[in-house]
Structure 1
Amino acid sequence: MSPPRLFISYSWSSHDHELWVIDLASRLRESGIDVILDKWELKEGHDSISFMEKMVTDPTIQKVAVISDSKYAEKADGRVSGVGTETQIISREVYEKQDQNKFVAVLPERDPEGKPYLPAYYKGRIYIDLSAPENYAAEFERLVRWVYDKPLHVKPEIGKAPAFLEEEPTKSLGTSVSFRRAIDALKNGRPFVEGAVDEYLAIFSENMERFRITLDDSRDADDQIADSIEEFTPYRNEFIQLMLAIAQYATNDDMQKKLHRFFERLLPYLGRPEDMNSHHSWAFDNFKFIVHELYLYAIAILIRYERFAFVDRLLATPYYVSTNANRGREATTTFADFRDYMESFRGRDQKLRRLSSRADLLKQRAESSGFDFKSLMQADFVLYLRATLNDDYYVRWWPETLVYATNSYGPMEVFARSRSASYYEQANKLLGGVSANDLKAHVATLQGDRDKVPSWQFERISPAVLTEIDKLSGLP
């Protein structure tokens, strides 16, 4: 296949500009393009304007690059109005008689206000911008692709209608619009960011009621609960994306309060609503799993981005329990309530001979979250340690995912990094600011009290190994 032929049209604006054009033409030839340039083709005595007109209309030249600097645009527009007959610029008449896919404007510069220099006949059309050094490589690739008719983005073939169109519509939280608005506000620093996030979280928490299930005695309850959890997956993933944006762009006190209030609004879903007189003992297990999973991801994401102070505030601040959810307990509770015991799945554990179907499901679902399951395990372990640092039995957190951290599992990343004393000075906020020596003493106590160390039949975690406690703060 013969190389594509490209003619470069430009104005002799200055010696520096001519050198810029020659450099561009050389780069294009190195990319396998047969570039036609007056500097290389014209000899003494040749008519430059006639040469240019011939190149533009020559059918063997598939592409024409118009190097549109200030002089080029000025001369082109002057010729349209009858002024400036000395120019080699493509006239409007010539341009409009040709296939417009044959032409592209290439910017070597912009005006002082950052606007492109373009001939009047070209305005409103797509151009290639080589004026900014930081974008030169990407824009040069666009130019090469244009010459070869190999665009980066190719329209895909039309496929078959998706199968879900034939299925019954699934439940919706109705958050799609508010989610996009919140993500845009977070990533682009909009002034309404806090209101946008608050609106999304309010809709999310209120409309979770749509996922309340009424168990059908004719079907296996475990399956119904698992189906409801699976149906919620798109909204879990939505929340994960929001948390990633918060962790990267907005970890201020106001955002912490909004997230704290959001989880407070989820607590009532873990128990019987005020207007429900009778219920199956497993009726809320889908919510128990969903709320626990959301909280676990929130903490895991904040730890990944080392937002340790943010995590500390979420864990240290009591959560208000509304009247219909406190079940005769105190008006406030701790973060440990977000991991509530599920009565279901026990039969599944026995039938499948699994140590924890709940942990299995968390691990399986992590594959569709775009988030590393090891990060969830780390968050689970941090929450377990934080809970055990308080002597009150009711603040204990059972770390479901750590069934996968028994035997030869090594130290969690945040503790491996805490070999550095300076790193641990920041990371210890995850544990309420406990000193290295106090944590070492606490871990030794846990290791000596088997009742405080989570186990699954004969499998047991080792807090000393997971914290790499013997090396904690051993380095500067």
Structure 2
Amino acid sequence: MSPRVFISYSWSSPGHQARIRQWAEQMVSDGIDVILDVWDLNEGDDMYAFMERMVVDKSVTHVLVFCDSEYASRADARRAGVGTESQIISREIYSKVQQSKFIPIACEFSEEGEPFLPTFFKSRIFIDFSSPEAANDNWEQLIRVIYGKPAHQKPALGKAPTYLSASASAPASPAVSKFATLKQALIHNKPGIKHYREDFLDACYSFADALRIRTRPEVEITGDKVLEDCGKLKLVRDHVVDWVLFESETDCSNEFSEALIKFLERLLEFKSRPQEVSSWSDSWYEAHRVFVYETFLYIVAALIKTDNFSALHIILTSHYLLPETESHSGELFSKFDTFYGYSETLQVLAPEGKKLHAPAAELIKRQSDRTDLPFATVMEAELLVLMMAFVSDDARWYPQTLHYCSRGAAFPFFLRASRHRDFQKLIQITGFDSADKLREAVKSGHKRLGVERWSNFWLTDRSFWAHMNMEMLDTIK
């Protein structure tokens, strides 16, 4: 059934009357049955009886009160016409529960910027129609209110997360104090820096390891539980990134790079069960697999930021000793692509009725709260990792975070590589000594990884070629 509204207003001026009639006609064209005095009040009718009947009539879904200075002063003074009508309205407002029937519409503001509203409307939310522009901007809001179709609706109440019934406490992180000690040792070049570093990294490892499940949980591991554990592991991610950012700038030897490789190998242990666990479900360690993937990307981003290209070359070309629980088919080593992680359980992050193309990337984006390494730098890091996957014979990588990359996005590290001196950084990282050789290897990698079959990216040809600035590499001498 169409909504039915009664319009209350003051005959302040011919112009104001014309605007009211124009708005009433526009509402009728939007399917609303409008009751207006100039249309529905005939000669000989009792004006006050008509007003009272319209205000209390149950078939009238809303009373629209168009308020200007004249309306407000007449209503507050209880003067004839508007004053009588407002007495009926105010009695209805204060004696009925459904006060939402009455909608104040501000047609005029004072010099102080306050709307002219009767006293009984002062505390109510109004709709601004004080100018043609305001009326145009807020027209949809008014129509939605009348039809009961607000633009923003409260979602349905969900169920309590299942992890509330399980033990969700996390141990306090001792890594903060360990990192402070390591920083002082590095700043003052104290002897035994290796031991300070090991103490810090051991603390990071122990914190993350304490969150690994070792006994069968009482409840099923759900997306909410994975999400909660990822939030706890983010603390370790930030500890590690703080360390990489600080020490990679002061590293004058390969000691830092070697320490980073050893830590990354330990990080791989989190992708699977602890060695002592003989019965498990892969879902138990899904949060840790995403944590490993996220932390690896942040480490790459941190090394780009600190210009530590030798360390980047090492971590992107090394072979990593796999933990016993991760070795399959007798393979003992793997390349950097072993740090890749995916999570279908994190579809819990998708809006209702939608499905995420890369749930892990959505989590990483939501957790990208570092001002020194914003999400754009994480995408840039993954683009570099993808380039290395293209140019490595047997490495594979699917760039999940680049689902959030727009068509025209530009990445500073690759743009700067147009200059010869900056292209030397890519030479140092990839090992290719010319742009032509690098372009040839990237093209080959596209074909090997079947990039043309990747879908749901903003990229027109899904080649990532333009984002890597391939055509312009080393063109400015």
Contact 2:420 2:476 in 1 (8 A): yes
**Could you tell me how far apart the structure 2 residues matched to 1:452 and 1:423 are?**
27
Within 5 Å, which residues of 2 pair with 1:331-410? 331-346=332-347, 348-349=349-350, 351-368=353-370, 370-392=372-394, 395-410=395-410
Within 5 Å, which residues of 2 pair with 1:190-229? 190-213=190-213, 216=217, 218=219, 221-229=222-230
**Could you tell me how far apart the structure 1 residues matched to 2:177 and 2:314 are?**
29
Contact 1:215 1:221 in 2 (8 A): no
Letter in 2 for 1:354: L
**Percent identity at matched positions?**
20
Within 5 Å, which residues of 2 pair with 1:27-106? none
What SS class does the counterpart of residue 291 from structure 2 fall into? helix
Contact 1:382 1:431 in 2 (8 A): no
**Could you tell me how far apart the structure 2 residues matched to 1:453 and 1:431 are?**
23
State the Cα distance separating 1:345 from its structure 2 match: 2.3
1:317 aligns with 2:318: yes
Unaligned runs of at least 5 residues, structure 1:
1-166
> In the alignment, which residue of structure 1 is the partner of 2:468?
467
**Could you tell me how far apart the structure 2 residues matched to 1:458 and 1:405 are?**
8
| CA-atom RMSD in angstroms | 2.6
**Could you tell me how far apart the structure 2 residues matched to 1:204 and 1:418 are?**
35
Give CA deviations for 1:329-361 in whole Å, capped at 9, x if unaligned: 411111110113334224655854332221111
**Could you tell me how far apart the structure 1 residues matched to 2:467 and 2:368 are?**
21
The structure-2 alpha-carbon separation of the partners of 1:372 and 1:294, relative to structure 1 and needing over 3 Å to count, comes to: same
**Could you tell me how far apart the structure 2 residues matched to 1:387 and 1:172 are?**
37
**Could you tell me how far apart the structure 1 residues matched to 2:175 and 2:436 are?**
46
Contact 2:170 2:211 in 1 (8 A): no
Within 5 Å, which residues of 2 pair with 1:44-443? 170-213=170-213, 216=217, 218=219, 221-250=222-251, 252-346=253-347, 348-349=349-350, 351-368=353-370, 370-392=372-394, 395-410=395-410, 412-443=411-442
**Could you tell me how far apart the structure 1 residues matched to 2:367 and 2:216 are?**
23
TM-score, with structure 2 as normaliser: 0.59
What SS class does the counterpart of residue 184 from structure 2 fall into? helix
More displaced stretch, 244-253 vs 451-460: 451-460
> In the alignment, which residue of structure 2 is the partner of 1:100?
none
More displaced stretch, 348-357 vs 259-268: 348-357
State the Cα distance separating 1:266 from its structure 2 match: 1.6
Aligned residues: 307
State the Cα distance separating 1:173 from its structure 2 match: 3.9
Letter in 2 for 1:266: L
Contact 2:342 2:360 in 1 (8 A): no
> In the alignment, which residue of structure 2 is the partner of 1:13?
none
Contact 1:318 1:334 in 2 (8 A): yes
**Could you tell me how far apart the structure 1 residues matched to 2:257 and 2:448 are?**
35
Letter in 1 for 2:335: T
Contact 2:390 2:442 in 1 (8 A): no
Contact 2:204 2:239 in 1 (8 A): no
Letter in 2 for 1:426: K
Give CA deviations for 1:38-90 in whole Å, capped at 9, x if unaligned: xxxxxxxxxxxxxxxxxxxxxxxxxxxxxxxxxxxxxxxxxxxxxxxxxxxxx
**Could you tell me how far apart the structure 1 residues matched to 2:426 and 2:457 are?**
32
TM-score, with structure 1 as normaliser: 0.59
Letter in 1 for 2:242: Q
Letter in 1 for 2:397: W
State the Cα distance separating 1:206 from its structure 2 match: 3.7
Contact 1:384 1:397 in 2 (8 A): yes
Give CA deviations for 1:283-304 in whole Å, capped at 9, x if unaligned: 1111111111111111111111
More displaced stretch, 283-292 vs 452-461: 452-461
